[in-house]
A = this chain, B = another copy of it.
Amino acid sequence: MGIDERQDEDVMLAEMAEDGARPDDRIDDERLDEENTLKPEYVRAVRDALDAGENTTVYDLVEPLHPADIADLLELFDKDDRAQLTAAISDLMSSDVVAELNDYVREDMMEALPADAVAQIAEQLETDDAVQLIEDLDAPDQAAILAEMEPEDRAAIESALAYPEETAGRLMSRGFVAVPESMTVGDLIDYLRREGDLAVEFFEVFVVDASHHPVGTCALSWILTTPRQIALTDVMKRDQTLIPVTLDQEEVALMFQKYGLISAAVVDEDGRLVGQMTVDDVVHIVSEEAGEDTLLLSGAGDGDINEPIRDAYSSRVRWLVANLGTALVASSIIWFFGAAIEKLVALAVLMPIVASIGGNAGTQTMAVTVRAIAMNQLTRSNTGRILWRETRVALLNGVTIAVLIGIGTAAIFTPMLGIVIAAAMVVNIIVSGLAGVLVPVAFERLDQDPAVASSVFVTMITDSMGFFAFLGLAVASGLVG
């Protein structure tokens, strides 16, 4: 955003504030509830006005909203209502709104627009947001949109699209401030005043050598608190965290967290500065990466409520079919013990308890392990210690549950059946605990995402072992036949 532009906007805002037409801060906004989401009454008012065809009322209702809240509003509507709403507020559909939209909703809306309209929106966005806008479209659509864009913007987007998805090269901002080592603080300030429009958002200035390799970083607050005559090389921090352009977004997010970064230089394979990543973009990645494990572990795929039904069906049913396979393995074990169950139906009544509690214990351990792997807390250096820790927790859990179920079963059925189920429970909970650590660790060592496939294997192990331990011990103890 350039200086002039900002001042104009600001004058406008100031006038509105004087008129009392716009609240000074959003926290008191009467359209938002205490969780900062749009109130149902407000959404209903918009919907009613839309249904009644009162487009001016709709516009007046939506106009005071922050772009992020307009995006939220669009997401709350279904596809048809959304198209109608978009038409009613087309003036308010700024690039800021588009940038804030959920990926699926945005893709949906872009597919409905002609290429030149999408190109126009893309040109108003920062490169990283523009890339997000078009990266999920079909190749012909992408080409059509790029063809409509200014050569400079097109080149920036094409360069980003040349990097794999979810890497720093895709996500980085190509606008940043890089200055030579010879500058003083005063030179830098003069330079920035002269070249006001050079970057939309920056929190640090990168100092580079003649071949454009970063040699240091200056936080803006240091520059502002330092006398003009001091050389940048005396105020900059030399100990930098540089991000390779091909680094995966998950690793980028972990680096920002680990080193408390506010922005970082992205460098190409020759170590030359090609872009920057800023923490406000990384926040979204952190949220996405940390949240997706819940969804992956449950086999819910992307798990976005805006995902088209056919995609949600396809990712979820695949996982259910895989689990049908593991359930059949467990069933075949029961089949093997069919004769014993025929003689003592109590076995059929009790066997799901052993499997179910084992499954829960395995899920607990697996969740802890997957999270620790994702946060780089569980590495080769402490796997043994964590396995031993989880074994001890499993032993404590196993004994506690075994005593409870053992006494109950002994009281209702027979003491011998109580002993059998208690023993089976201890065995199964310990096996589950071990599986909960070892399965995700094994996937990690094989360079597979432990959150994706661990559940199926852990469930198979806990179910099968639950039925096998209980029914096997029942037969071995001479309880039946």
Number of A interface residues in the complex (CB < 8 A): 155
Question: Which stretch in A50-58, A112-120, A143-151, A287-295 binds the other chain?
Answer: A287-295
What's the minimum C-beta distance from A450 to chain B, rounded to whole angstroms? 12
Set of chain B residues within 8 Å of A283, measured between Cβ atoms: 256-257, 279, 282-283, 286
The majority secondary structure among interface residues of chain A is helix
With A40-B379, A234-B10, A397-B313 given, is the CB distance from A374 to B291 under 8 Å? yes
Contacts of A280 in B (CB 8 A): 256, 260-262, 279
> Across the interface, do A396 and B350 meet the contact criterion of CB distance under 8 Å?
no
Contacts of A374 in B (CB 8 A): 291
Give A345 to B348 CA distance when docked, in angstroms: 9
A155 within 8 A of B: no
Q: Do A235 and B357 have beta carbons less than 8 Å apart?
A: no
Asked if A407 CB lies within 8 Å of chain B CBs, one says no
| Interface positions of A from 290 to 318, Cβ below 8 Å from B | 290-291, 293-295, 297-300, 303-306, 309, 312-313, 316-317
Tell which of B313, B328, B380 touches A396, judged by Cβ atoms closer than 8 Å. Answer: B313
Roughly how many angstroms separate A116 CA and B400 CA in the complex, as a whole number? 42
Interface residue A125 (Cβ < 8 Å from any Cβ of B): no
Q: Which residue of B lies closest to A361 (CB)?
A: B320
Q: Is the CB of A348 within 8 A of B341?
A: yes
Q: Contact: B235 with A7, CB < 8 Å?
A: yes
Cβ of A226 and Cβ of B377 under 8 Å apart?
A: no
A10-38 CB contacts (< 8 Å) to partner B:
10-11, 13-14, 17, 22, 24-27, 35-38
Q: Is there contact, CB below 8 Å, between B305 and A262?
A: no
Q: Is A203 an interface residue (CB 8 A)?
A: yes
Q: Which chain B residue has the least Cβ–Cβ distance from A73? A: B381
Q: Which residue of B lies closest to A385 (CB)?
A: B78
**Cα–Cα, bound, A297→B366 (Å):** 12
User: How far apart are the CA atoms of A251 and B203 in the complex, in Å?
Assistant: 24
Residues of B within 8 A of A202 (CB): 221
CA distance A294 to B291 in the complex (A): 8
Could you say which residues of chain B place their CB within 8 Å of the CB of A382?
75-76, 305
Selecting from A87-95, A134-142, A236-244, the interface stretch reads A236-244
Alpha-carbon separation in the docked complex, A221 to B189 (Å): 10
Contacts A225-B193, A225-B196, A367-B298: A215 and B328 contacting too (C-beta < 8 A)? no
Complex contacts, A352 vs chain B, CB 8 Å? 327, 330-331, 334, 351-352, 355, 463, 467
6 A-B pairs with C-beta separation under 8 A: A3-B226, A24-B239, A75-B382, A192-B221, A260-B280, A305-B386
A-B pairs, 3 with minimum CB distance:
A290-B290, A298-B367, A220-B220
Extra pairs beyond A189-B224, A309-B393 (16, CB < 8 Å): A26-B259, A38-B381, A44-B381, A75-B377, A76-B379, A193-B227, A220-B224, A279-B279, A283-B286, A291-B371, A294-B370, A298-B366, A300-B364, A306-B377, A320-B400, A323-B360
